[in-house]
Every structure is written in structure tokens, then in C-alpha cells.
Chains A and B, each alone.
Chain A
Amino acid sequence: ETGVTQTPRHLVMGMTNKKSLKCEQHLGHNAMYWYKQSAKKPLELMFVYNFKEQTENNSVPSRFSPECPNSSHLFLHLHTLQPEDSALYLCASSQEPKETGELFFGEGSRLTVL
């Protein structure tokens, strides 16, 4: 039990589908993150929300749309994805400001785009 729960764990979708990834954190943190993990590459930060406000959007294509309704929940809405978007999508949370840099990750959602 990591304190950060992601659903679904696995998702297969076609390029024309619309789906969403969900993340919930039970740690009382105020910042939540989406990362993309591809094989043998560093984790790529996609979005950051702090106190429900989006503070980072690292040039992510508009086919990825985040939503943060409150400090405990984070969604990633997916629409007309490409095969190269297949990856493990990791949600994380932290308490900010707390200059320890520690992130707490969920188990990830493995996405396959056909």
C-alpha cells in the first residue's frame, strides 16, 4: 500500500477512443503529478497540480488533458492517442513546500495504444 492508488492498472485503447486514468492519494499531500515512463528513458514530467492549480505543463500534446477536482484526486483524460503514447503513466504526490524533493508514486497505469 503506497498511499497513492491508480486505476486502471492496464488499459488498451484504439486511436479513436476516449478514456481516463484516475489517481487518488491518501497521504494528505497538496501536490499531484503525472509522469510518463517509457522503457530505458528517464521519467518525463507531464503535469503538476499544486492546491488544485496546474503549475506545470511540460509541452504535453493536447490529446492528454489533466483534471484535478481536489487535492486528493487527479485524472488524465486521453483522446485520439498515438501508438507512441503507449507507456506506463505514473501518478505521484508530495507535500509542498517541503524542500525534501520526495515524491510518492502510485503503481502506474500501463497504457497500450493500438
Chain B
Amino acid sequence: GQQLNQSPQSMFIQEGEDVSMNCTSSSIFNTWLWYKQEPGEGPVLLIALYKAGELTSNGRLTAQFGITRKDSFLNISASIPSDVGIYFCAGSFSGSARQLTFGSGTQLTVLP
């Protein structure tokens, strides 16, 4: 089946630093989604990407749909303590939610 490799697995950064994480797929996707899961909560959708090369922002978050359609990147600028959580990428070839493949997550810790 499809596999997503998400890296890094964890990050410890100082408040104010920028953060980058990425996902690569063994096959082409037509939809890339980025979710954030805070402790004790379910994942919440941050950004959705539907077109190769697309760059989309949501506040301090920016995500890109790789031109090869096999990767995606998430950047967080000027991190703050509430950015703490697990960030998941998810991709789908068909675009259907039932065929989403998830990455294993990037655990982000922001140090004051």
C-alpha cells in the first residue's frame, strides 16, 4: 500500500524560531492535508492542498504541495508555546477522505 514518510519524528525548538517538516510519498497524491493534534485532543485540519506547486498560508503556517506530487512541506514561522503538538500530514490520490494515508507525525516542543 501507499506509504508516507514524515520527518522529523520530533523537534525541540526555542520560542521564536521557524520550523520546517515534510512528508514524502512512495506514490503520487492529488490531495495533501496537514493536521495538528494537541495533547488530549483529536487532529484538527490546518491546511489543505489540491494542486501541484500550490503554496497556501494559514497565519504563521505555510504549506506547499510538491511539484512532483510526491511530497509536501509545512513551515511554521516565529513559533510560540501554543504551537506544541503533533503535526500529521495526510495524502490521497483519489481525493476521497476514506482513502487518506497518514504520516506518523512530527512531535513539536517549543521551549520558552
Contacts of A4 in B (CB 8 A): 42
Cα separation A4 to B45 with both chains bound (whole Å): 13
A-B contact pairs, 18 of them (CB 8 A): A2-B42, A6-B42, A31-B98, A43-B43, A55-B98, A90-B43, A94-B97, A96-B98, A100-B31, A101-B90, A101-B92, A101-B96, A101-B97, A103-B43, A103-B90, A104-B45, A105-B43, A108-B41
**Do the beta carbons of B97 and A31 come within 8 Å of each other?**
yes
Q: How many residues of chain A get a CB closer than 8 Å to chain B's CBs?
A: 29
CB atoms of B45 and A40 under 8 A apart: no
Asked if B44 and A99 sit within 8 Å, CB to CB, the answer is no
Q: Which residues does chain B contribute within 8 Å of A106, judged by CB atoms?
A: 42
Chain A interfacial positions (CB closer than 8 Å to B)? 2, 4, 6, 31, 33, 40-43, 45, 48, 50, 55-56, 90, 92, 94, 96-97, 99-108
B95 touches A100 (CB 8 A): yes
8 Å CB interface, B4-37 against A: 4, 9, 31, 33, 35
Stretch with Cβ within 8 A of A (4 or more), from B52-60, B64-72, B74-82, B101-109: B101-109
Residues on the A chain within 8 Å of B73, using CB? none
How many chain B residues touch A (CB < 8 A): the figure is 28
Q: Is the CB of B98 within 8 A of A105?
A: no
Pick the residue among B42, B95, B96, B97 that contacts A108 (CB under 8 A).
Answer: B42
- Among B94, B95, B102, the residue within 8 A (CB) of A42 is B102
Q: Is the Cβ of B42 less than 8 Å from the Cβ of A42?
A: no
Nearest chain A CB to B31 CB, angstrom units: 4
* B112 interface residue (CB < 8 Å to A): no
Residues of chain A with a CB closer than 8 A to B100's CB: 45, 101, 103
In whole Å, how far is A51's beta carbon from the nearest beta carbon of chain B?
13
Q: Determine which residue in B35, B42, B98, B105 has the highest number of CB atoms from chain A within 10 A of its CB, and name it.
A: B42
Q: How far is the CB of A88 from chain B (nearest CB, A)?
A: 9
Closest to B31 in A: A101
- Within the assembled complex, what's the spacing in Å between the Cα atoms of A8 and B103? 26
